[in-house]
Amino acid sequence: MLLQIPEVFSKAEVAALRARLDAGPWADGNATSGHQSATAKKNLQLPEDSDVAKEVSALVVQALNANPMFVAAALPHTIFPPLFNRYEDGDQFGLHVDNAIRQSRTGGALRIRSDLSATLFLSEPEDYDGGELIIEEMYGSQAIKLPAGDLVLYPSKSLHRVTPVTRGTRVSSFMWMQSLVRDDADRETLFRLDIATQRVASEKGPKDQAVIELTGVYHNLLRRWTEV
Ligand code: NI
């Protein structure tokens, strides 16, 4: 499932984050690539151990953990500290699949299996040409270019690429996470059940017996499928 999560940050918050990020220090993006993707990538990234990256990364994680739609859809176990990239002057990222395992390069013990990938857009679409995130799905490819502050969540198993930026600058945060529910279809089923239960609750009230029973089914499925 590919999901757009609107307004993770307000426009004012995006402006404040951009002011911090734009000061750099930006470096060659191949510093963070896995073996397969190193040949296909041309962009700039903030080194993950830089003060700016660490500071803004923590704000992104905080905003995501406070976002009900994100939590319901991702069921996050661990979010690997988000990174930041910048595309301009023809920069692009060729077709690839994200690495299955992410391990901290900064000496920490953090290691995750990447179940979900996400891109948080920090430039407005009209400020650059190109730079679409193309995600290959079973039923074809989707071109994603969202307003600043919005995030797209997609399975890490998807082939994807970023088309060349031919005008302006595209700044974004990108990240990987391990979910409590490993299987994409199971996770999507839980998300749809969650939304349907909330719909019944809004019509009949949270104490309606159907709502209580559906909530029970949700938790009993989560208990079967979860890995903690
Ligand atoms: Ni990728």
pLDDT digits (tens, 9 = 90+) for 133-172: 999 988 889 999 999 999 999 999 999 999 999 999 999 9
Distance from Cα 98 to the centre of ligand 1, integer Å: 5
Placement of tokens 């080194």 in the chain:
47
- Please name which of 143, 141, 148, 149 lies closest in space to residue 168, comparing C-alpha atoms: 148
Q: How many angstroms is it from 118 CA to the middle of ligand 1?
A: 9
**How far apart are the CA of 161 and the centre of ligand 1, in A?**
7
- Whole-angstrom distance, CA of residue 34 vs CA of residue 227: 26
Q: Six-digit token pair at 155?
A: 């399975």
DSSP 8-state assignment for residue 209: H
Q: What's the pTM value of the predicted model, to 2 decimals?
A: 0.93
Supply the pLDDT for residue 32. 59
CA 195 to ligand 1 center in whole angstroms: 29
Residue 179 contacts by C-beta under 8 Å, 6 or more apart in sequence?
74, 75, 76, 77, 115, 116, 187
Q: What pLDDT is recorded for position 19? A: 97
- Do 176 and 117 contact (CB within 8 A), yes or no? yes
Residue 35 has what pLDDT? 53
Q: How far is the CA of 219 from the centre of ligand 1 (A)?
A: 32
- List the chain residues with pLDDT less than 70: 32-39, 106-107
Please report the DSSP string for 17-46 in residue order.
Answer: HHHHHHT---EEGGGG--TTGGGTEE-EE-
Give the C-alpha separation, 56 to 182, whole Å.
27
How much distance in Å is there from the Cα of 25 to the middle of ligand 1? 21
Q: Which residue has the tokens 């699949």?
A: 97
For residue 27, the cross-strand partners are 45
